[in-house]
Each structure stands twice: as C-alpha cells, then as structure tokens.
Structure 1
Amino acid sequence: MSVNIIYDWNGADYSSLHEKKSVCIVDETLRDGIQSPSISMPDEEEMQSLISVMDEIGIEFATIGYPGASTKVKGAVEKLIEYKLNQGLQIEMICAGRTVAADIQAIIDVSQNCGVAIDANLFIGSSPVRQYVEGWDLQFILEHVKKGVRFAVENGLRVCFLTEDTTRSNPEDLGPILETAIENGAYRIGICDTVGHSTPQGVQSILKFAREVVKKSNPDVLIDWHGHNDRGLALVNALVAVECGADRIHATALGIGERVGNTSIEQLLVNLKLMGYPGKNLKLLRRYAELVSASFKFPIPSNQPIFGLDAYRTGTGVHASAIIKAEESGQSDLADLVYTSVPARELGFEQIIEVGPMCGKSNVVYWLKKRGIACDDTLVTDIFEEIKRKKTVLTDREIKGIINRHVTG
C-alpha cells in the first residue's frame, strides 16, 4: 500500500522488543490441554498429526505427557518421540513430572528407551496455601528440589524447574527454592501462574524478581512463563512476560486446559507477529486449530479471536459498507484493515458480509454479486423486507428461497 493509513500507538511501546531475539514457544496442548474436563482424548494418529503441524508452524518445544502417571502414558510418550525421530521433526520434546524419584525415573526410562536427551519440566508447589494444604514447610520443599533436580541432571535430563502457583508464592520462600534448583543443575526456571491469579503488573514484578535470582545464581539460566486464564488475562500476561524478558512462553491450542484453560497459542503467535517478532508459519495455524478442534471434540466458539466463525464476519450495514468500498478500491489488503486488526488473508480467511437485521441494502447487493447472481431493485427490496421481519442473519438457503420466488414470479 503506497500510503500509511494506520497510525499505530503500539509501535512506541514495543520498539524495544524488536531488538530481542525471537521468543520460543512451548506447546502444552498434549499435556495441559488434555486436562480440560470438556475434551475427548485424541488417539495416537491424531497426536502424531498434531506434532507434525506444530513442527511445520515452527513451534520449538512440545510437552507431550507425564510419563510417571501410568504405564499407558509412558508408552504413548515413547511412541510420540519415536514418531518425531522417524519423521525427522525439529520440534523438541518435553516430559513433565514432580520432583519425586518415581516421576523422574519414568522420564529417565523414556530417554534411555528412545536414545535421546529429553527436557524434563519438574515442578513442586511453592505458595503458602499449597504448603498449608500439603503440610509442607520450606525445608521439605528445598530438600525435594535439591534431590529431584540433582537426580535428573545426573541421569542426563535437561531440567526446567517450575514452581507451581509461583504468582502467589512468598518471595522469602521463592528465592531459596529457585536458587536451590539452579545450584543443582536446572538450566531453566519456570514462573507459573497456575490458577490465573496474576495481573500484568504482577507479571512485571515476579519476572523482575526471577531475573534478580538468576543474575545472582547463574546468569546463563533461562526463564519460562506458564499462564492460565482464570481471570481472562492469560494472553496479555504472556505478552507482558515477553516484554519483561521471558525466554520461553507456554501455551495451548485454542487455549484449552485445566478449568478455563491456558494462554491461546494461536492468539499468542498472531500478536507476536503483529508486535514485530520473527514470525512462525501463520498460514498453518488455521489447519492446526481445526485439527485440534476435531481431535479433541472441542468446538471453536463463534466469538473466539482469530479462528471463531464471527472473527471476520459482519451483518452490520455501516461496517459492511466500509468493507465493500475497501474491496472496490482494488487494494487487496485494505478490506482486512478497515474493520479488523488481524490480517485475515494471512490466516486463510476473508471478510464475510452477511444479510441480517442490522444490515443495509448494500449488504444484499454485495451478497448477490459475490455469488454471481443478477440483481434488480425489486429483488433487493424483497430480500431486504424479509430481513426486517427476522431476528437472525438469513441463511444462504433462506435467501435462495426468496430468489427462487422472485424468478418464478
């Protein structure tokens, strides 16, 4: 486009981010995602397809299970790793477990059976409420962290140590816990907003704290952010975490997960691209979202950003009129700018103009021309009058019925 017709107030705020290296993504769909109480478990072939598409998109890491949960889960994890190796996929596999010997041994077994080094996300609860419920004290936690991380590292695992419920943890406890993990070989630490408690200000505060711990203990240690959506803040918190220097962000497809879910991976990737970060292959996101929806038997809500039915769809006369004028200008990308901030065409979509109670006659004319149907004033009026008697958008079948009546007289 020859002229700059969008003024971006976001640009100044995010200018410092463009100097930062690309942030890495951990796809938690096959671990945290399957904890949603509303999904159906995908089968082996579906999980393989999901891993393949993650790899094509350019997602760097995938958490693929919790081998210590059962023999069945352990076997499924090994099959996924074998599939990755056989297909030559670049995506790195992560296994999750508590800082207890049995969970760690299960991950070691997987690594040895498959003949590959594995990242282990090892976690333990750290918040006062969790300590109270479990009957733990700080000394108990420190001992578990020390033994667990050391055992994993000595047996060839790359450890990312995560504190559950980090964002409600006391700094007097959290500091020594993170320091102990780092001292015993963790190459990453993970800050977890396990119950979606944090606000953007909270993200800034806790990541500043984490960076200070890392600086003191081992400046080479990397920092992960793992957020949930209980207060509807998961996406904005993840973006703030990136701004505050998190090296890796955890997310799930369609935001599925425990309770109301996690950071949505497709919303995260689209926003990172719009913020100027080196992008993943956004053209494959639609296929990924639809595959997850089908594999997990999880319908995509109509108002879901990016991939919902209504994301690029309008039945409002004023909006439709502007979109039509944009399309008629001959500039293909203008229609994606006038009433949306998301590049629909980059994601495999186009603007859709419906005929409904809030539309004008231009909607009707557009609908007919889009389908190559000759229209005259009488036909347009017949359809428009029918709209005003309805409470919902007219379906294609309903409009075609009016057209048929018009033709047959």
Structure 2
Amino acid sequence: MLIDSTLREGAQMFGVYFSDAQRRDILSGLIQAGIDEVEIGWVGQDGLEDLLRHGRKEYPSERTRLTVWSPLRLLDLDRMNAMGVRRIQFGVPVSDAHIEHRLGTDRAGLLLRLQNILRRAAELEMAFVGVGLEDVSRANRDFALQVVRVVEECGGRRVRLSDTVGLLTPLETAELTRWFTDRTELAIGFHGHDDFGMATANAITALASGAESVDVSVLGIGERAGIAALEEVAGHLNLRRGAGYDLKQCARLARMVAEAAQVPLARNKALVGEDLFACETGLHLQGLSKDQSLFEPYAPEKIGASRKLGLGDKIGKSAVRHAAHQQGIAVPSHGIENLTRRVRLLSQALARPLFNEEFRALAMTADSAASSSESCYAP
C-alpha cells in the first residue's frame, strides 16, 4: 500500500510553504486518488488540528487513513492525544551517530525511552502506532532488531525502514527488507530518500521483497532530493500490477503541487510530463503507425494523456508517406524523397517539428523543385 507524506515530508522541502487551503486541496486529492494512508503532518505543526478535523468531516467514510508523525517524546504523545489523534508514526533514530548526537543518549537509553512511550500509547488506547527506524541503512542490524522487539512487546503495529540519506540500491533494499520480514510478524514499511536517484526503484523493490507499505510524496518532494514519487510508484502498481489508484487524479495532484511548491514540472517527467507520448523520430513514428505498443509501455488514455506526433528533422520517408496519407494528400512516389528533405530543412530552420498546416503546405507541392522549397519556406 502507499503512504503519502506530501503534507509531512513534502512540506519539509526547503522553501515550501503550503497554505491551509492548499493543504486541504492536497489532502482531498490524495483521498480521491485512493491513497491508502496519508501522513498529514507532524505534531506541533501549525494548522494540523484543523486539517485533521477537515479530513474527518469531509471524508468520514473513505478508506484513506490519516496518520500524524511525532518524535519520540512523551509530551508530544500527550499533545496528540488531546487533539484526538488516534494513529501515530514515531520517528526513532537507530544508528549510533543519530542516537548519540541527536538524542544525547545511548542504545540502552533509547530502548528504555521507546518502551515507556509505547506503553503510554497503549494506555491511551491509540488505534495504531508505528515506529520508523531512522537511518537504519547505517545502523547495527542486531540493535535495530532489538528496537523491533520492543515495538512487538509494547503493541506497535508497523516498523518503517528509513533510508534516511538515500544510500541504498535496489539490491540492498531487497536484502534489508527481507532481513526484517524474516524476523518479525510486524508490518514492514519503507521510507527511502532520493539522494542518488533510486527512491522510486527502491520503493517498488521493497514492496516486491515483502514490505507491506512504502512512503511516497507528490513529485517526490521532501528533504534534499526528496523521496519516492507518488505518481511513479502508483503508476507502476497500476500498470504493471493491476492496482486501483486514480492516475488521472495523481496527475492533477502533480500539477497542483508543482505550482504550490514552485517545482518545475519537466515535460518528460515520468507519468505526468506533457510530452510523454510525443514523438518525431522516423523509426518510432513508423512503428507507431503499425502497432502503438511497439514503442509505448501503456496506452496514454490510462493516465489521461494523449499522443503528440511531429514531423521534423528526425523524419524518414515511410513516416512522411504515412502522414501524407493520413491527411488525405496524394504524393507521387517520386515526390516522397523530395518532400522528406523539405520537411527536414524547414524543421531545422524553425528548430521544432512542423505543425499540420505547415506539413500540408509542403506536401501539396511535393513535386516542386528543392530550390523552390528552400526559397519559399525557409525563414
């Protein structure tokens, strides 16, 4: 399942400040997209209580669960209880460097603190408690497993493996995930950062290796390089594994968040870029004219996209002939080579593919001399 953290991890991205209205719109979009769980923020975050109230009021019967992140502090647990929070995700550093320098304690002190807080959560009858093993990719495995045992003994429900600085490769993610799933009955989640561009691949690998859930955010926004991208992981799960997320809604969210966070949306961005199904290469155009699946992994309609085919400098004679036929223009066989050359010349001069009317103008005079075409159509 997918746990979206746009409103927690994403909101921590440098320079990102979502307004209350934007946060409500993002939450609504995530729920409408069918995302399984939303980490709606962190304890102490301004507006968190209002957002939680909004989600419960507007979508009381939806399957999307709302979770709040918290550091490992009793005071914060009591604050969340007072707010009516019933699902909590604690962040628990497990590498020695984080334990010593962030928390100012040692392994034994961390285990005792965790035990006390989880017992207090049980007393408060929290509906769900998860524990994120922060920096687990650099932690001592045996100690991390001790933390898992405390979570088991104190009624926790999920352990999240956090590759906090994005060091893991997919093979390492698979090994780490299996190591923990083989040693606990707790649900295993994965939270991977994108410092080396592997977050989406690691998230998908974690799911394939036994993880029950992975963390994502819209466009992958978050600290530093961010985390796995919601639209990419959801797209893979839908199109390769038959999941039921609303990819059109994910694309709408991507555009919304790109604007709100002032993150440029690349035209070739996986799953949501406007030019994903744009093509002007002769070989590919010829293949698409025969069987669209030859050069497309899925039909554009599945993500609410459409094809954009262009004729330009990369065109070949077969594609030119097909384009002329599609527009109902009869070009004699001896004129195809000349027309192809003229298309290339004009495209080079304009530094872009030709519009239909431009191609049509050239095709209608396909038997003209090459010199005439250059003088008439070159800018």
Is this a same-fold pair by TM over 0.5? Answer: yes
1:30-65 per-position Cα deviation (integer Å, ceiling 9, x unaligned): 11112222x532222222222222112211110111
The residue identity in structure 2 corresponding to 1:82 is R
Match status 1:103 vs 2:103: no
Corresponding residue number in structure 1 for 2:4: 27
Corresponding residue number in structure 2 for 1:343: 299
Match status 1:201 vs 2:171: yes
Q: Share of identical aligned residues, percent?
A: 22
Aligned pair partner of 2:34 in 42, 50, 58? 58
1:318-342 per-position Cα deviation (integer Å, ceiling 9, x unaligned): 111211233xxxxxxxx2x121213
The residue identity in structure 2 corresponding to 1:77 is L
Q: Map residues 182-261 of structure 1 onto 2, 5 A cutoff.
A: 182-214=152-184, 219=185, 221-261=186-226
1:233-268 per-position Cα deviation (integer Å, ceiling 9, x unaligned): 212211221122211111111111111111111111
The residue identity in structure 2 corresponding to 1:57 is A
Cα RMSD, aligned residues only: 3.0
Corresponding residue number in structure 1 for 2:101: 133
The structure having more radius of gyration, on CA atoms, is 2
The whole-number CA distance in structure 2 between the counterparts of 1:402 and 1:107 is 68
Corresponding residue number in structure 2 for 1:82: 53
Q: Map residues 6-405 of structure 1 onto 2, 5 A cutoff.
A: 24-37=1-14, 40-68=16-44, 70=45, 72=46, 76-89=47-60, 90=62, 91-111=64-84, 118-134=86-102, 135-157=104-126, 158-214=128-184, 219=185, 221-326=186-291, 335=292, 337-360=293-316, 382-389=342-349, 392-394=351-353, 396=355, 399=358
The whole-number CA distance in structure 2 between the counterparts of 1:338 and 1:312 is 13
The whole-number CA distance in structure 2 between the counterparts of 1:271 and 1:126 is 31
The residue identity in structure 1 corresponding to 2:112 is E
CA contact (8 A) 1:167 1:202 kept: no
Change (3 A) 1:292 1:402: farther
The whole-number CA distance in structure 2 between the counterparts of 1:107 and 1:83 is 16
The whole-number CA distance in structure 2 between the counterparts of 1:373 and 1:30 is 52
Q: Which has the larger displacement, 160-169 or 132-141?
A: 132-141
Change (3 A) 1:25 1:131: same
> TM-score when scaled to structure 2?
0.84
CA contact (8 A) 2:274 2:305 kept: no
Query: Match of 2:195, SS?
Result: coil
Query: Match of 1:236, SS?
Result: helix
Change (3 A) 1:400 1:294: farther
Gap runs ≥5 in structure 2: 366-375
Query: Match of 2:345, SS?
Result: helix
CA contact (8 A) 1:178 1:213 kept: no
Measure how far apart 1:402 and its partner are. 7.5
Measure how far apart 1:299 and its partner are. 1.8
Measure how far apart 1:381 and its partner are. 6.0
1:176-198 per-position Cα deviation (integer Å, ceiling 9, x unaligned): 11111221221111111111111
Corresponding residue number in structure 1 for 2:371: none
The whole-number CA distance in structure 1 between the counterparts of 2:117 and 2:328 is 69
Query: Match of 1:65, SS?
Result: strand
The whole-number CA distance in structure 2 between the counterparts of 1:343 and 1:268 is 17
1:263-296 per-position Cα deviation (integer Å, ceiling 9, x unaligned): 1111111211233243222332222222222222
The whole-number CA distance in structure 1 between the counterparts of 2:95 and 2:107 is 10
Q: Which has the larger displacement, 316-325 or 348-357?
A: 348-357
The residue identity in structure 2 corresponding to 1:163 is L
CA contact (8 A) 1:191 1:223 kept: yes
Measure how far apart 1:396 and its partner are. 4.8
The residue identity in structure 1 corresponding to 2:298 is V
1:155-203 per-position Cα deviation (integer Å, ceiling 9, x unaligned): 2322101111112110121111111122122111111111111122322
The residue identity in structure 1 corresponding to 2:169 is T
1:338-385 per-position Cα deviation (integer Å, ceiling 9, x unaligned): 212133210011222123332235666777888x69787688765432
The whole-number CA distance in structure 2 between the counterparts of 1:192 and 1:52 is 26
The whole-number CA distance in structure 1 between the counterparts of 2:192 and 2:320 is 44
Query: Match of 2:194, SS?
Result: coil
The whole-number CA distance in structure 2 between the counterparts of 1:106 and 1:355 is 62
> TM-score when scaled to structure 1?
0.78
Query: Match of 1:388, SS?
Result: helix
Change (3 A) 1:46 1:180: same
Change (3 A) 1:152 1:367: farther
Change (3 A) 1:84 1:131: closer
The whole-number CA distance in structure 2 between the counterparts of 1:373 and 1:202 is 56
Query: Match of 1:150, SS?
Result: helix
